[in-house]
Amino acid sequence: MARMFQSLLVFTGRVAHGVRVAGFWSLIYGYCLLCSLVALFKLWWSLVLRPTTTLQWHVRDCPPACLCDTSLGTHCYVRIKESGLRFHYVAAGERGKPLLLFLHGFPEFWFSWRYQLREFKTEYRVVAIDMRGYGESDLPLSTDSYRLEFLVTDVRDIVEYLGYNRCCLVGHDWGGTIAWIFAIHYPEMVSKLVVLNCPHPSVFTDYALRHPSQLLKSSHFFFFQLRHFPELMLSINDFKAVKSLFTSRSSGIGRKGRWLTAEDLEAYLYALSQPGALTGALNYYRNVFSFFPLSQKHVRSPVLLLWGEHDTFLEQEMAETCRIYIRNHFRLNIITGASHWLQQDQPEIVNTLMWTFLKEKKDKRS
């Protein structure tokens, strides 16, 4: 009787787990369908009302002059033996100085750190890498090649290749997510962590599930699960949607800071117009619902979290909640007037706050 009861409990548990899993994926793909229908309507509307709308785009063959600016650093390449991938990075500052490593977000590349490369090269070996699938780094074809564990391992391999066993790690957007997870899994390799407009992964997951407003702001996560269609929507009318991300009044760079110049914008379009570039960038999102279990969630390095007041993609309330996952000094600065792209539209403020944090000698407890 006891054995039968135990078997019944096990069976009930498995059924409940199956229902939860089915409900989880039904929610995801149901929301994907809704987002795709909205996008299809927008596409139809633009084609009907704007006959000049074109589904074509052109590949930029010649990089703009700003990408060849020697004041930003030297362009270098490294091939990692374990993954076989070649990575491109821009480095400045003397070798042997402490390593300050920058990880960019979507849909950016190393160029998003141009103001910081110039600023910190006097006292650090500054390195801004093109993450896998971006810029001049290799672009694996398989979607599974962009799983979080591979992206985190890339950072470890690059730090070791550069000849360091520790670094000050800086990440923005997707680069921030990778930076958080890297600091959790390799605490001995992160002396200080700076994250811009990206909450701790556990904070984001918990908050998004409980707040419909953040779920709506994250609707692109679901839309990007589709194949090919998001690439089309981002690239039609010569990347009009991408241009809007960087220049619109609601989400763009320069609300109360520096504007993105025409040449700067062309640099992003040059990188994203290369064959397969958009697919590589979107593959980060296509693995976002693949579980990457964290054996422990706490960060033991000192953390500086910088947040743009007018980020239209993330709720500001998540920033303060990150404090519960830090087992060291934690500092949060909300930058007034800054957008999601705060290191580009408010570089002077970002650099000043980073200098103050990096120069602190002792790790203060929260």
Q: Domains in the chain: how many in total?
A: 2
Is residue 110 within 8 Å of 119, Cβ to Cβ? no
Is the pLDDT at 177 greater than 90, yes or no? yes
One domain, residues 46 and 84: no
One domain, residues 69 and 32: no
One domain, residues 157 and 38: no
46 part of a folded domain: yes
Of the residues 32, 53, 74, the one at which a domain ends? 53
264 part of a folded domain: no
d(CA 344, CA 257): 8
Average pLDDT over residues 60-65: 89
Banded pLDDT at 365 (limits 50, 70, 90): very low
Q: What is the pLDDT of residue 19?
A: 60
92 part of a folded domain: yes
AA letter at 203: V
One domain, residues 126 and 165: yes
Give the count of beta carbons closer than 10 Å to the beta carbon of residue 359.
Answer: 8
One domain, residues 137 and 39: no
Range of the domain at 8: 1-53
d(CA 35, CA 327): 39
Eight-class DSSP state of 111: G
Is the pLDDT at 75 greater than 50, yes or no? yes
**pLDDT tens digits for 115-154?**
999 999 999 999 999 999 999 999 998 999 999 999 999 9
261 part of a folded domain: no
Is the pLDDT at 225 greater than 70, yes or no? yes
One domain, residues 207 and 185: yes
Cα 151 to the chain's mean position, in Å?
11
Q: What is the pLDDT of residue 13?
A: 56
Give the HSE-up count for residue 52: Cα atoms under 13 Å, Cβ half-sphere: 2
Give the count of beta carbons closer than 10 Å to the beta carbon of residue 94.
Answer: 10
- Give the residue numbers marked as catalytic: 173, 285, 340
255 part of a folded domain: no
Eight-class DSSP state of 69: -
One domain, residues 124 and 202: yes
One domain, residues 114 and 29: no
One domain, residues 49 and 108: no
AA letter at 23: G
Q: What is the pLDDT of residue 60?
A: 83
Q: What is the pLDDT of residue 25?
A: 55
Is the pLDDT at 362 greater than 60, yes or no? no
Token pair 């609601």 in the structure block, residue: 250
Q: What is the pLDDT of residue 47?
A: 61
One domain, residues 15 and 136: no
**pLDDT tens digits for 178-224?**
999 999 999 999 999 999 999 999 999 889 888 888 888 888 888 89
d(CA 265, CA 246): 8
Q: What is the pLDDT of residue 366?
A: 41
Q: What average pLDDT is seen over the chain? A: 87
- pTM reported for the whole predicted model: 0.88
Strands (E), 104-148: 125-129
One domain, residues 27 and 98: no
271 part of a folded domain: no
One domain, residues 86 and 159: yes
Is the pLDDT at 50 greater than 70, yes or no? no
